[in-house]
């Protein structure tokens, strides 16, 4: 089994001002490795949602907020694209975040909290590793061949 | 070039907001400000035209959720038009078409304020 072929890394201050740059980085890599524009768009949005959660929540109660950094790692394997977002802020219990029932959610007109739902919808796998104050990671995977055929169009391969 | 900008046109009793660029957690507060201004001016018939919006995240969608209740309580609404397929897909994923009128043409969005029964 081949090991990871390529890695791309970005370390950046945890600020909403940098979301545009993060999206540009991720979309350039996703495009370069051959995803169609639909899938590039899904990866772009999932990454934005993960980073927005970190910027808005992980460091929210810390001082020196602007000096905190956010690490983005992209690993390219022969069969999949893996995106790992890491921060060093306060964590959360991923099991405490319930997947919203969208009908109920919309009926109540709730604000926010849509990010994790989108990430799980857009990517093939989403996994959290939480060590509060030490390291929190969200790992998201997209396979080059669309196993689920989500109905948004087919991959290039 | 600005990352995000909004222009407003008042037409046939409606206020039309034209969004340009990208709407994410960084730029969403600008849209909040604009909607707050409209509410303060008691302009509750609002149309948002997405034709020049290139990207939206849940932070952008959340803005509409935050104000719709107040606007509808004042007999108004937010109607949406001219979304690219990329933008519409995000709204669709989150079930927004059941909650908001989303149409292709701006004129149709204006009509919906006056002839809702022909939707």
User: For residue range A70-84, what is the model confidence (pLDDT) as tens digits?
Assistant: 999 999 999 999 999
The answer to whether the CB of A85 falls within 8 A of the CB of A50 is yes
Is residue B19 within 8 Å of B49, Cβ to Cβ?
Answer: yes
Range of the structural domain that residue B101 is part of = 4-105
pLDDT value at residue A87: 87
Helix axes A37-53, B85-93, angle to 10 degrees: 50
User: Which residue from A minimizes the CA distance to B94?
Assistant: A102
Q: Does B94 touch chain A (CB under 8 A)?
A: yes
ipTM: 0.91
The kind and range of the H/E element at B54 are strand B45-56
DSSP state of A63: S
B23 DSSP β-pair partners = B56
Is A48–B22 a contact, with Cβ atoms under 8 angstroms apart? no
pLDDT at B80 over 60: yes
Q: What per-residue confidence (pLDDT) applies to A155?
A: 42
pLDDT in tens, B83-115: 999 999 999 998 899 999 999 999 999 999 997
Q: Which overall architecture, per CATH, does domain A6-143 show?
A: 2-Layer Sandwich (3.30)
Q: What is the mean pLDDT of residues A119-132?
A: 90
Q: What is the CATH number of the domain that holds B39?
A: 3.30.750.24
Domain count, chain B: 1
Is residue B9 domain-resident? yes
Q: What is the average pLDDT value for chain A, to the nearest integer?
A: 81
Please report whether residue B112 resides in a domain: no
Q: What is the largest CA-CA distance in chain B?
A: 42
Give the C-alpha separation, A98 to A137, whole Å.
18
Q: Is B48 helix (H, G, I), strand (E, B) or coil?
A: strand
Q: What is the pLDDT of residue A40?
A: 97
As given in the structure block, the two tokens for residue A14 are 């945890």
Q: Is B113 a domain residue?
A: no
Domain segments of chain A as ranges: 6-143
Determine the average pLDDT of the residues in B55-81.
95
Residues in chain A: 157
pLDDT exceeds cutoff 90 at A91? no
Q: Does residue B48 form part of some domain?
A: yes
């Amino acid at each position: 089994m081949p090991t990871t072929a390529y890695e791309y890394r970005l370390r950046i201050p945890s600020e909403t001002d940098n979301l545009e740059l993060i999206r540009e980085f991720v979309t350039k890599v996703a495009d370069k490795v051959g995803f169609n524009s639909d899938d590039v768009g899904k990866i772009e949005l999932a990454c934005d949602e993960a980073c927005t959660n970190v910027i808005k929540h992980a460091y929210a109660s810390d001082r020196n907020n602007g000096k905190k950094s956010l690490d983005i790692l992209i690993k390219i394997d022969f069969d999949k694209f893996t995106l790992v977002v890491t921060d060093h802020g306060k964590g959360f219990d991923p099991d405490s975040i319930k997947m919203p029932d969208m009908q109920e959610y919309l009926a109540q007109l709730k604000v926010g909290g849509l990010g994790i739902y989108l990430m799980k919808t857009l990517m093939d796998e989403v996994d959290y590793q939480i060590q509060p104050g030490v390291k929190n990671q969200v790992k998201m995977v997209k396979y080059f061949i669309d196993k689920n055929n989500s109905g948004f169009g087919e991959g290039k391969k | 070039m600005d990352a995000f900008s909004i222009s407003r046109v008042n037409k046939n009793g409606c206020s039309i907001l034209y969004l340009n660029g990208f709407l994410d957690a960084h730029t969403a507060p600008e849209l909040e400000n604009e909607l707050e201004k409209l509410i303060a001016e008691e302009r509750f018939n609002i149309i948002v035209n997405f034709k020049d919006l290139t990207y939206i995240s849940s932070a952008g969608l959340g803005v509409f959720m935050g104000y719709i209740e107040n606007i509808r309580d004042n007999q108004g609404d937010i109607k949406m038009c001219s979304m690219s397929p990329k933008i519409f897909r995000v709204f669709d994923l989150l079930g927004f078409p059941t909650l908001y009128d989303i149409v292709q043409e701006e004129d149709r969005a204006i009509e919906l304020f006056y002839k809702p029964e022909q939707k």
